[in-house]
């Protein structure tokens, strides 16, 4: 497994954030170093900035 920081745009889904140390989110919380997280891209999540899977339920497409 690579430790290279990356941001991946998933098809019709969230941003996948991986291996980004000291990531600070808009609510001032910080990600854990090397954590993988999924950030909402559709605007429908009830747990922003994180994806909660709602994009699938509403059939969101990019």
Residue 8 Cβ, how far from ligand FES at the closest point, in Å? 13
**Comparison of 23 and 42: residue with beta carbon closer to ligand FES:** 42
54 binds ligand FES (CB under 6 A): yes
Binder of ligand FES out of 16, 27, 41, 61 (CB under 6 A): 41
Binder of ligand FES out of 20, 25, 44, 49 (CB under 6 A): 44
CA–CA separation, 21 and 7 (whole Å)? 13
> Tokens 């994180």 label which residue?
50
Q: Is 25 exposed, middle or buried (0-12, 13-18, 19+ CB in 10 A)?
A: middle
């Amino acid at each position: 497994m690579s430790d290279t920081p990356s941001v991946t745009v998933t098809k019709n889904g969230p941003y996948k954030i991986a291996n980004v140390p000291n990531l600070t989110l808009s609510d001032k919380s910080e990600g854990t170093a090397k954590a993988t997280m999924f950030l909402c891209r559709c605007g429908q999540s009830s747990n922003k900035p994180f994806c909660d899977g709602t994009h699938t339920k509403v059939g969101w497409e990019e």
